[in-house]
A = this chain, B = another copy of it.
Amino acid sequence: MRINYDFNDLEAFLAVIETGSFHIAAERLNLSQSAITRRVQKLEGVLGSTLFERTTRAVRPTLAAKRLQARAEVMLESARETTLVMRDESVAYEHQRSALVTIALIPTVVTYLLSPTLRLLQESGMSVRVRLLDHAANEVAGAVSQGEADFGICSIGSLEPNTHFEPLFDDLIVLVLPDGHPLAGQDQLTWSDLKAEPLILPARGTGNRLLIDEAMAKSRLTAQWTYEVGRSTTAMELVNEGIGVALLPRSAMLSAQGRTLVFRQLLEPAVARPVGLLTRTGVADSTVVGAFKDAIRQISGRLGALSL
């Protein structure tokens, strides 16, 4: 779809609605009145709506104009902000990074990997601020690629061209159930066992969702979800409250201790994703960042595979 109006048309429109006059709007924007008329006429043509009921003596916005006003304001402000951000971002950004480690990570690895790492570094006397960008995997990759984070811990959902992935462990997709659920009585399940259950699935577009959709296709199931969530913690809350059953990474269950939740492996096919360090290529680590990575590798090697 081609857009046949531009920000200057929106600017003229807003000036007219705010001043209630074409010629005053023209003065405001340092244009001629006829240029303002033409911009508004252009907008009316493209959008197919009369925006002002006007005489040579009075200008009144239509309902359509009122509906467009808020949108136009948002669009114009967004364009202004984008211009400013693109022109100013890099200097301020670089300056703020000197005393801080920023790690982008999927939240399910906090208990398993990050907490032991932070404890180890605390015990070794390291004192540094840590900013955690706890995102979904796609956003972790984006944050690393864009240099917002020094490095990432995620699964390889979407690799960016300027990043390198170092696997640490494999994370199985498991079925999360409330204790006492009929399916909890079996040690292992297949995807067909999900047929009659109200399902809680990860959001569209995530790597986990793609894997689940694939596995269901292999099992000739259609993905009949009832609830779709962005965060594994939300899913676990809903399971805990008896709303449904969820498909989640095994590592998410480490933060579920004390909950009346159980998990079961799904076979035919078993689904797993590698989780690891994501680093931007061509950028040297600071001493602190290198120490963080080494500590994570050490902890991961020590812990071994997640138990089932």
Contacts and interface: CB of A to CB of B under 8 A. Distances in A.
A228 interface: yes
A110 B234 contact: yes
A132 B234 contact: yes
B63 A242 contact: no
A134 B203 CA distance: 10
5 contacts: A3-B83, A63-B90, A64-B86, A73-B161, A131-B228
Interface in A159-185: 160-162
A242 B116 CA distance: 10
Interface string A30-57: 0000000000000000111100000000
Contacts of A134: 229-231, 234
Interface string A47-80: 1110000000000100110111011111110111
Interface stretch (A253-261, A267-275, A287-295): A253-261
Oligomer: number of copies: 2
A255 B226 contact: no
B241 A111 contact: yes
A24 interface: no
Count chain B CB atoms within 10 A of each CB in A6, A83, A122, A234 and give the residue with the most.
A234
Interface string A77-98: 0111011011101100000000
Contact of A237 (B66, B110, B258): B110
Interface string A1-25: 1110111100100000000000000
B238 A70 contact: no
Interface of A: prevailing SS: helix
Nearest to A163: B70
Nearest to A236: B255
A135 B79 contact: no
A97 to B, nearest CB: 13
A137 to B, nearest CB: 14
Contacts of A11: 2-3
A135 B63 CA distance: 19
A75 B115 CA distance: 36
A67 B86 contact: yes
A118 interface: yes
Count chain B CB atoms within 10 A of each CB in A86, A115, A145 and give the residue with the most.
A86
A142 interface: yes
Nearest to A128: B226
Nearest to A116: B241
Contacts of A255: 233, 237
A130 interface: yes
Contacts of A161: 60, 70, 73-74
A75 B79 contact: yes
A80 B1 contact: yes
A157 interface: no
A92 to B, nearest CB: 13
